Amino acid sequence: MLNIKNLTVKANDKIILDNFNLSVKSNEVVAIMGKNGSGKSTLCKAILNHPDYKKKGTILFNGEDITNLKTDEISKKGIYYLMQSPTEIEGVTNASYIKEARKVRGIKEDVFQFNKVLNDIIETTGIDKKYIHHNINERLSGGEKKKNELLGLYALSPSLILLDELDSGLDIDSLKSISKAINEYRKKTKSSIIIITHHDSILSYIKPDMVHVIWDKNIKLSGDLSLAKKIEKQGFSGTINMTRSDLDE
Amino acid sequence: MNSLLIGKDCNLSKNIIVENKSIISLLDIFDKHKTHIILKENSSLTINLFSKKAFDLDIKIDLYDNSKLIVNSSFINNDYHKEIIDVNLLGSNINVFVNVRGINNKSDVQIILNGSNKSESKNNIFHEYAKVINNTNSKNILIPNLLVDNYTGIFNHGVSIGHINEKNIFYLESKGIERNKAKKMLENGFILSVMDENIKEKIKAMLKED
């Protein structure tokens, strides 16, 4: 599915990730944890080839080198980025961008077919119908923005979802309902997920197969959900300084 | 609700007086002429103005007690664009909202928004803003003037000149929309967002012609 090999990422001449390697299998959920500024969100932006980040190394998606593809081309390959703070855009509705995004993916449909797609998503996810013709995230709360992003997720059918701090700005009820919608999508599509997070709270709702910890520009620890629990207890510094035998206990 | 679309090669001069709760039908073309509008007591006027041709507007609007004015003006210029909107609050309890949005694709842009409130005029609400997205190296002059002689009301004004937000472009790109198309969608959204619903579809159709 996704293979990142020897990736070095720079922003403003500062190295954020250095010789970074990551592998995500099909239908796998991988959590990337790390303290503030450790490069977790940079990883998402590097995968999407954000112009502010300079890269060396290789990113393979389904065997294809996507390292230097344009952002829109990467998205069309099947990668969906749910941003930590989704942008507010005035004058452009969800319906209009989703329609265009489906069109460029080669989906041919008339207005009735398109409306049915959106209505089916509304029914499946329980998202308020008003979001369809709402300007993208405009004047929505943090939680509402994340719910709003589910429309795009379901409509664009990605096979890899990047969840960048999904839990930030969400109350527990919203986190539960959004996680449920993402889990249902994954169950239906067998897609993979990369969860970027500081805390283990989201990992109770979207269960990871693997947990990796970024420390000093690279993955320093890997394990299962118990690693996230240890981090929650000991903190990042405390966990990193533990020996392997400590971790296995 | 009254709407105005600026058509091609139209020339018309008009003085308009609005009185006694009447709402005028604005189907006239202001281009290249000075226009004077008077809103008498308890009258209201909404103007939706869109232009994508060379444009020269000079409009003076006098308002009296309890009158209400909304001016939504937007443009995409491929030639010069000059817009002077001069609003005089000559009574009390007046509501004014002037919102100008433009995309400068080629030539010089000059927008002057003047507002004045007489000293004996009380409890007026006045907002005027102009925002221009500049896609060229040409000159953009935006001047917001506001003279307030009585402080019992609420008065705001401002202008800004800039580019399409790169974060917004990246957002749409991350959904699979190619950069130029994303920019176009954002620009159209920027100018459409100030217009009333009843005229949006007409403007969308005009934008599609490009």
Closest CA to A195 of A227, A155, A167: A167
| Chain pair A-B, CB pairs under 8 angstroms | 75
pLDDT of residue A234: 81
**B146-156: per-residue pLDDT in tens?**
999 887 899 99
pLDDT band at A36 (very low <50, low <70, confident <90, very high): confident
Q: Is B192 part of the contact surface with chain A (CB cutoff 8 Å)?
A: yes
Q: Where are the alpha helices (DSSP H) in chain B?
A: 166-173, 179-192, 197-208
Cβ–Cβ of B186/A70 closer than 8 Å? no
CB B148 within 8 A of CB B118: no
Q: Which residue has the tokens 């190619």?
A: B178
Half-sphere exposure of B122 (CA within 13 A, CB side): 2
Calpha distance B146→B129 (Å, rounded): 11
**A112-134: per-residue pLDDT in tens?**
999 999 999 999 888 889 899 99
Sheet holding A192-197, edge to edge: A79-82, A160-164, A192-197, A29-33, A210-215, A218-223
Q: What value does the mean pLDDT of chain B take?
A: 81
Please state, for a pLDDT cut of 90, what percent of chain A lies above it. Answer: 63
**A138-179: per-residue pLDDT in tens?**
988 888 888 889 999 999 999 999 999 888 878 888 889 899
pLDDT of residue B185: 95
Q: Is B176 part of the contact surface with chain A (CB cutoff 8 Å)?
A: yes
Residue among A71, A91, A104 whose CB faces B189 most closely? A91
pLDDT of residue A244: 56
Distance from CA of B101 to the nearest CA of A (A): 12
Q: Is B196 part of the contact surface with chain A (CB cutoff 8 Å)?
A: no
**Four-CA torsion B101, B176, A79, B164, nearest 10 degrees:** -30
CB B3 within 8 A of CB B29: no
pLDDT band at B190 (very low <50, low <70, confident <90, very high): very high
Cβ–Cβ of B171/A100 closer than 8 Å? no
Task: Report the Cα–Cα distance between both ends of chain A, in Å, rounded.
Answer: 32
Two tokens at B201?
Answer: 């579809």
Query: For A230-245, b where at least 16 C-beta lie within 10 A, e where not — what string?
Result: bbeeeebeebeeeeee
Instruction: Please state the rounded mean pLDDT for residues A53-79.
Output: 96
What value of ipTM does the predicted structure carry? 0.94
Residues of B within 8 A of A97 (CB-CB) are 172, 175, 177, 185
CB A11 within 8 A of CB A44: no
* Residue A106 CB-density burial (10 A; 0-12 exposed, 13-18 middle, 19+ buried): exposed
Residues of A within 8 A of B199 (CB-CB) are none
Nearest CA in chain B to A49: B174
**A198 torsion bin: left (phi>0), alpha (psi -120 to 50), beta (else):** alpha
